[in-house]
Amino acid sequence: MKHLFTYFFAVIFITGIFSSCKKNSEEPIAIDKSYFPLQSGKYIIYDVDSIGYSDFFDSTFVSKYQIKEEIDSAFIDNEGNAAYRIYRSRRNTDTDSWVITDVWSANLTDYTAEKVEENLRFIKQYFPIQINRQWYGNAKIQTTGSLSFLDGWKYEYTEIHAPLTINSLYFDSTITVTQHNEVNFIAQKIYIEKYAKNVGLIYKFEDSLSIQQDTSGRIVTMMVKEFN
């Protein structure tokens, strides 16, 4: 019996060693930040379609315009990160002049890609990129009052490293971040962003409709048109 116990514990010990060696030999997942490039002078132009529904006016409002986001100089933000200013401009047609409407910012940390929009800090990506990985993308926003609808959103990588064509532009590697997907009998809230490697954001979809009685709210689609 003594020899049996000795043999039993020896097997467990050896198995543990091999298991430990196997774990240590596994390659760590690479952190790829190339879907969120930050470089001064880089710009992206988007075609935007916005459809607004108003049950009060019993009407639909359709708006088409262009947005340009251009990365400017680097600075240290209020969280102590090296960040870049983003000048956001708008025009209605290709022949119109650009008019600056906002100054946003973006930064990268060891494990996150963050963007400050209208003074709200969103965690756009979480590293390393893995299919079905989830994180609280609005965790740095005080989701109270008028922002309560942003509370508890779990962002998720629903597609990674996939080819995609938008506006006749081909991208060989893209990721899809589903920020929120809630559909029920009274409302639908669907927020999706797609990023291309070495380019950045190439597609954005926002559906925030209330359908309890009459339809109200808006649907906004933003698709890349040009980039450098």
pTM for the full predicted model: 0.85
15-47: pLDDT as tens digits:
454 445 444 556 677 899 999 999 999 999 999
Structure confidence at residue 218 (pLDDT): 83
Sheet arrangement for strand 154-166: 120-126, 112-117, 99-108, 82-91, 59-76, 43-54, 216-227, 200-210, 187-196, 169-183, 154-166, 134-136
The DSSP letter of residue 150 is G
Whether residue 84 has pLDDT greater than 90: yes
